[in-house]
Structure 1
């Protein structure tokens, strides 16, 4: 089977999208289904609720007999920073393999139609708050605040019923047997030496907003008082 490819779509920013492109191929057995296993490092979030919604909308995965196409396991905290979170994994059913429509001679028409197609899957991810660094610049002049996040290319494999496992060879267990090099994301991080400046600007902004609200309230009160006095004078 031809190799598959994985990449991050451009312009994702803090919400990268992992794009997986897998060429279709006949299943090694009728009960086999093609899956992709995405390993999510602690620096990233895979929102199980978002994945479930995409699955219900028919935008992620291919539902099997049980109706489920996406599974999430591992870290589920959406608010934890990277240094307090653990890894997670997302399993996506890409196709139902040989469990398709058959013609009068018993041939799988679904497999024949999809043989030359390419399965495209987008798995949304989100960057966590990364651990801040002590200073912005290293001794050699390079910046220390961008942090590199390594994401392994997903495993793509056939999952078959136990009855047909003895018929499957090692060459049909993954496609291809060796994965491409891992993907790398650049994640922004905070700098501890910037903390006093950030705290000072934040405090100044809060007090400025508070003063503006007080001034607006006093001005509205005075306008109301003047309007009320004018009405009293006219009534008199």
Structure 2
């Protein structure tokens, strides 16, 4: 593969596997756009709640998502999420959204619409007028390797032990990974994975998808591990040093 050819890197994984941080790091190191598809589902949840849509009304939720004025900022150094011109980047990370998002993410009509938008981003970033200037994109989520971008040049399933995933999410949400914080986070993380596994497969790598286990790796080591996969699959040489 030419080093000048557009590159799509698809990364899937369960909650707490580190896929968002890793995907941003890979995108920065390779000079690609970054798409957080999980943030799109969170934004859809925020939008429905903001408009007073009952999440149990699947048809109403799907309609709301189809007309949602969503703009995803693709800069891996500072990704943004705007809905109707409002920066919702912090609001979509609240416990309220985390608790409610599965009701939206398991709506098949919603998934079809957001997958369409995600694929449009992937395609746009292969063109010179995209954010990355046609270099490509790192997209991460639950079904990127299998549904959104099964033709991606690099496809990775990022996994980690349950213990490691709970500790990471506890640090993100509570600022600590002590026993109380992990206990408070357990239901949210495991229930989200259980619910989402009914509509997408992100626990076991599909054919052609490379598994990277980050249980015993820190962030930079995991980014390096994914970059090794990029090099092995594409033949590209990637600078192993973090970008300044």
TM-score, normalised with respect to structure 1? 0.24
**Structure exhibiting the larger radius of gyration computed from Cα positions:** 1
Q: Write 1 or 2 for the structure with the bigger share of helix.
A: 2
Q: Write 1 or 2 for the structure with the bigger share of strand.
A: 1
Q: Does 1 or 2 have the higher relative contact order (CA < 8 Å, sep 6+)?
A: 2
